[in-house]
Amino acid sequence: MKLLTKVLAVVLFSISLQAAAQNSDAVKMKTFIDVLMKKMTLDEKLGQLNLPGAGDIVTGQASNSDIGKKIREGKVGGLFNIKSVAKIKAVQKVAVEESRLKIPMIFGMDVIHGYQTTFPIPLGMSCIWDMNLVEKAARVAATEASADGICWTFSPMVDISRDPRWGRISEGNGEDAYLGSRIAAAMVKGYQGNDLSKNNTIMSCVKHYAMYGAAEAGRDYNTTDMSRVRMYNEYLPPYKAAVDAGVGSVMASFNEVDGIPATANKFLMTDVLRNQWGFKGFVVTDYTGINEMEAHGIGDLQQVSALALKAGVDMDMVGEGFLTTLKKSLEEKKVTQQQIDVACRLVLEAKYKLGLFEDPYKYCNEQRAATEIFTPANRKVAREIAGESFVLLKNNGGLLPLKKSATIALIGPLADAKENMPGTWSVATDFSTPISVLQGLKSAVGNQGKVLYAKGSNLDADSMIEERGTMFGKSLHRDRRPKEVILKEALDIASQADVVVAAVGESSEMSGESASRSDIGIPKLQQELLEALLKTGKPVVLVLFAGRPLTLTWENEHVPAILDVWFSGTEAGDAIADVLFGDVNPSGKLSTTFPQNIGQVPLYYNHKNTGRPLPEGQWFQKFRSNYLDVSNDPLYPFGYGLSYTSFSYSDITLSSKTIKGNQSITATVTVTNAGNRAGKEVVQLYTRDLVGSITRPVKELKGFQKITLAAGESKKVTFTISNADLKFYNSDLKYVAEPGDFKLFIGGNSRDVKEADFKYQL
């Protein structure tokens, strides 16, 4: 007992020391910024709120460039998307040597899924369900970016989306708030580490706040409108999780919410973000977010700039509305000096926390840039993570894995397409480096077997569509020969092969920003290629490239094996070979539902029951909530993904059938690897609240564990459930757990589950 008291005293003492240190850091920062701000003119304060685009900065001429002139005049707070220590150093030098107050600038970039070592697109990453790996990827990205001059990333993007038409679904973590929240926290931790002032950690910026993923009809930048209850329960949690994890900045979204663009939305920026969640960092707009409010129709540039500042926005990306109009608004008493000061202080605080006042060049170390970027060790991590992100959607008759001794006909427009491997938003990738599928298969096979290659078809019959889908240097090198000639070449090599691997689907820029689609199938020309390949009678493996869930009903019916590889980064080709040949057993699980057809969208696992639910297992009943022409079922449910082995689940054992007050219970299943090779399984826990003061989803993810099992091995997997897991926002937006009856489900996806019942009592 004495020992316990002593230990407790030591712990409390060290906590109080930590708190005191934090306090004194905060006091030091405040004093420093107070002194600095006293020296600043209004123009210099407004300058800190300005984040112009970098333009084309040329090293050696930075000082004479347009940007250089503005920096010298103290009109620039930071720059983004410039790459290289040399360039960043050159502009930083102008700021700290030639501007009056020598305030260093902050350098941001869209380091979305890796820096030069590029990881899977976020939608792919979200199929890994291993938070250590997610954090590790962000850590590698932060190390590389910070070695190259960057100290701020516009990531994670945590917009929940249930609409695969929306191209930016590729940049987020899918449809589920719980999984999205876990990923948001892991990424912030990976980028920021425990100490933001270190030179290998960078400030994270969670985006796009808020509800950007619910754009009507999946059309980018479109209107968002939803109830508060839905916002709080289903869309806001991942942003909050990032705030709880200590994210340093937040980016406003382009869309409106409740009729007010997010950029001028006081409810979002002040009431929720600052007052309810206690966010202490700064808010930046998205690219020209302020100016776009003129087109939204809520005022001219002066008016919308004032609205943004008053709502709680601190930094203006690209548009210069703050820089050019806030002075006038202050004179006209449309904004206050205090509002400008608060914004300026928050931006300066970010720079202080990053340690830029102490050493403005701390991220500009040529030695680090030369040795820490795109290293063999980082690429190894990326290859491992890429392999974990693939989702095996179908594998009839155990067609996969393939033998390396086989003759393989690799066919398809994505087969020899290294520029398309990293996927959307790979700003820092060197496009000469990614490994294509062709390269990956060839180096895996060596001289054991043979890899034959033919393109088979272009991406799309329409060259305009191909052009739109291959912008920013992601060319697929369109083949101008007649399609019959291109196809014949492919059929010729297919006839010589044991197996056909078809690398088809979307190109890199068919998803991402401003890349919405109204038809989310594999482009028709490529489907025709698949049909022709199937007609040869050779077994066909579909290696699917995609930045969103696609409608694959036809493919699922006809193609024996389908592996979804998303866009998986610089190491894609090697990782694909690892999985195709079974060196890595696929373990990815979907973070979004795949619909049977586009008319079912939005289709998501955690929907409400309605007053007229369709009885399970049925297709149609008159006067029930359903369609005449398609069942309500998804093609592949949330959480789904196969392995080269199979897993069986025992029934659930509960430690008690009742959760009383703050006590918790455990739910245990035994998972067995029933096949003959080792594999990983994501064991998923869901609950259903049967009666609530508001209607509740039919299932909600509440936990998951990724486990590894040797062939034949069994493991007990235990989840702890307490009333904290049962909480939701009620119609008064109070976060409560309501007593009553619940169901609990455990399984390898959201559909195929074991079931148990429990009660929650106060």
Task: Measure the CA–CA gap between 367 and 61, rounded to whole angstroms.
Answer: 23
Residue number of the CB atom closest to ligand BGC: 154
- Classify each residue of 57-69 as buried b or exposed e, where b means 16 or more C-beta atoms within 10 Å of its C-beta: beeeebbebebbe
DSSP 115-129: SSSB---HHHHTTS-
Asked if 606 and 656 count as a contact pair (C-beta separation under 8 A), the reply is no
User: Quick one: which of 163, 160, 125 has its CA closest to 236?
Assistant: 160
- The CA-atom distances, in angstroms, between 345 and each of 165, 336, 553, 637 are 40, 14, 54, 47
DSSP class of residue 418? Answer: G
Could you give the 3-state DSSP secondary structure of residue 572? Answer: helix
Q: Based on CB atoms, which residue is closest to ligand BGC, 133 or 515?
A: 515
**Comparison of 154 and 728: residue with beta carbon closer to ligand BGC:** 154
d(CA 411, CA 493): 9
Max intra-chain CA distance, the chain: 86
Q: CB nearer to ligand BGC: give 33 or 251.
A: 251
Options 32, 267, 277, 287; binder of ligand BGC; rule CB under 6 A: 287
SS3 of residue 703 by DSSP: strand
700 touches ligand BGC (CB under 6 A):
no
Report the nearest approach of ligand BGC to the CB of residue 63 (Å).
Answer: 25
Q: How many CB atoms sit inside 10 A of residue 275's CB?
A: 10
Tell me whether residue 108 or residue 505 sits nearer to ligand BGC (CB atom). 108
Instruction: Round to whole Å and give the CA distance between 284 and 312.
Output: 10
Please give the DSSP secondary-structure letter assigned to residue 613.
Answer: P
Q: Does 509 bind ligand BGC (CB under 6 A)?
A: no
Cβ proximity to ligand BGC: between 203 and 410 the closer is 203
Which residue of the set 148, 159, 176, 286 is catalytic?
Answer: 286
Binding mask 230-269 for ligand BGC (x = CB under 6 A): ----------------------------------------
- Least Å from the CB of residue 291 to ligand BGC: 13
Nearest-CA neighbor of 241 among 201, 288, 186? 186
244 part of the active site: no
- Of 253 and 587, nearer to ligand BGC (C-beta) is 253
Tokens representing residue 351 in the block: 């720079």
- Residue 154 Cβ vs ligand BGC, minimum distance, rounded to whole Å: 4
Closer by beta carbon to ligand BGC, 173 or else 587 = 173
Amino acid at 219: R
Name the DSSP class of 705: E
Find the shortest distance in angstroms from Cβ 221 to ligand BGC. 9
H/E segment holding residue 264: none
- Minimum gap (Å) between residue 640 Cβ and ligand BGC: 29
Shortest CB 180 distance to ligand BGC, Å: 16
Q: At 536, which amino acid appears?
A: T
Closest approach of ligand BGC to the CB of residue 258, in Å: 21
The interface with ligand BGC within residues 60-99 (CB under 6 A) comprises: 81
- What's the Rg (C-alpha) of the chain? 27
Q: CB neighbours (10 Å) of residue 462?
A: 13
- The answer to whether residue 154 forms part of the interface with ligand BGC (CB under 6 A) is yes
Minimum distance from CB of 111 to ligand BGC (Å)? 10
Q: Which ranges in 116-210 belong to alpha helices (H)?
A: 122-125, 131-147, 177-192
Q: Compute φ and ψ for 667, nearest 5 degrees.
A: -125, 130
Q: Which helix (H) or strand (E) holds 526?
A: helix 524-535
Q: Which is nearer to ligand BGC, 167 or 440 (CB)?
A: 167
Q: What is the contact mask toward ligand BGC in residues 159 to 198, using x (rule: CB under 6 A)?
A: ----------------------------------------
Count Cα neighbours of 452 within 13 Å in the Cβ-side half-sphere: 18
Is 441 in contact with 401 (CB distance < 8 Å)? no
**Helix H or strand E segment including 305:** helix 301-311
Nearer to ligand BGC (CB atom), residue 257 or residue 665 = 257
207 lies in the site for ligand BGC, by CB under 6 A: yes
Cβ-based nearer residue to ligand BGC, 122 or 440: 122
Please report how close the Cβ of residue 685 comes to ligand BGC at its closest, in angstroms: 32
Q: Alpha carbon of 93 to those of 60, 146, 200, 447: distances in Å?
A: 11, 17, 21, 54
Number of residues that bind ligand BGC (CB under 6 A): 7
Least distance CB 163 / ligand BGC (angstroms): 17
Query: On the CB side of 55, how many CA atoms lie within 13 Å of its CA?
Result: 16
Nearer to ligand BGC, 152 or 279 (CB): 152
**Does the protein bind ligand BGC through residue 453 (CB under 6 A)?**
no
What is the rounded CA–CA span in Å between residue 598 and residue 17? 58
Which of 251, 500 has the CB closer to ligand BGC? 251
Per CB under 6 A, does 286 bind ligand BGC?
A: yes
Q: Could you give the string, one character per residue 592-611, with x where binding to ligand BGC holds by CB under 6 A and - elsewhere? A: --------------------
Q: Where are the alpha helices (DSSP H) in 40-64?
A: 42-48
Among 359, 513, 583, 633, which residue interacts with ligand BGC (rule: CB under 6 A)?
513
> What is the rounded end-to-end Cα distance, in angstroms, of the chain?
32
Q: Which amino acid is at 148?
A: D
- 110 touches ligand BGC (CB under 6 A): yes
**What minimum distance in Å lies between the beta carbon of 152 and ligand BGC?**
11
Q: Closest separation between CB of residue 609 and ligand BGC, Å?
A: 35
Query: Under DSSP, is residue 753 helix (H, G, I), strand (E, B) or coil?
Result: strand
Which residue type is seen at 432? S
Specify whether the CB–CB gap between 172 and 160 falls below 8 A.
yes
| Cα gap 143→147, rounded to integer Å | 6
Neighbour order of strands in the sheet with 679-689? 658-660, 753-761, 740-747, 679-689, 700-709
Residues lying near ligand BGC in the complex (CB under 6 A) are found at 81, 110, 154, 207, 286-287, 513
Active site residues per annotation: 286
